[in-house]
């Protein structure tokens, strides 16, 4: 039976690098894959998964209206697809996560989704919440806080490096906008306990 995997981590943990390596492993063995990435992520070229270490691959951009299952099934009409990869999976809708589960359960294609678990306020993204609920396998990709502990939180900072506690859930950025921290240092940076986030 094909499985739905959710690989989650804080910012800058190497999620895209892991995705691109796994995709390369399939392609090296002559197996076709399909890659998807959030269209809202405009840090690099549109429709491209790019890692901080310079790896990249073309991908189909998705937005809330994209029927990912329909895209994959349309491709199956012309060639086999061995695996589906989704980058920035936190931006999936709950319905799209259902589509990924359908690809595994009914079509028989494994799906590997990579994304953040929580936003800059310590709250779950819609896509992440649904993946945590229905994925067959949850895999944490570990990152390190400045103190050496495991980083689990994403602190948003402004242009001067000051912590930002309020704002839209989605604000695209990299090292210039987010710092991966352990829960303790996240709370200390915001000056309040995590329960008040």
pLDDT tens digits for 162-184? 767 665 665 655 556 788 889 89
Domains within the chain, CATH numbers bracketed? 4-142 (3.40.50.300)
Active site members: 88
Indicate the annotated binding residues: 9-16, 87-90, 145, 147, 178, 182, 185
Tokens linked to 35? 């890659």
State the pLDDT at residue 36: 97
Query: What is the radius of gyration, based on Cα positions, of the chain?
Result: 17
Locate tokens 């067959």: which residue? Answer: 136
User: Percentage of the chain with pLDDT > 90?
Assistant: 59
| Spatial contact of 34 and 60, defined as CB atoms under 8 Å apart | yes
Known binding-site residues for substrate equal 178
Mean pLDDT, residues 155-163: 76
């Amino acid at each position: 039976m094909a499985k739905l995997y959710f690989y989650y981590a804080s910012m800058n943990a190497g999620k895209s690098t892991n995705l691109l390596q796994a995709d390369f492993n399939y392609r090296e063995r002559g197996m076709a894959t399909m890659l998807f990435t959030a269209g809202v992520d405009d840090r690099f070229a549109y429709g491209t998964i790019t890692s901080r270490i310079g790896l990249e691959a073309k991908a189909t951009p998705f937005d809330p209206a994209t029927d990912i299952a329909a895209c994959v099934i349309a491709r199956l009409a012309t060639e086999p697809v061995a695996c589906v990869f989704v980058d920035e999976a936190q931006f999936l809708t709950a319905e799209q996560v259902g589509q990924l589960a359908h690809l595994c359960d009914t079509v028989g294609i494994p799906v590997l989704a990579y994304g953040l678990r929580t936003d800059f306020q310590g709250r779950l993204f819609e896509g992440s919440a649904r993946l945590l609920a229905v994925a067959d396998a949850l895999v944490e990709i570990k990152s390190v806080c400045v103190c050496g502990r495991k980083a689990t939180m994403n602190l948003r900072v402004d242009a001067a490096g000051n912590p930002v506690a309020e704002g839209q859930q989605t604000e695209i950025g990299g090292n210039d906008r987010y710092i991966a921290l352990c829960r303790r240092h996240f709370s200390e940076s915001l000056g309040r306990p995590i329960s008040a986030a």
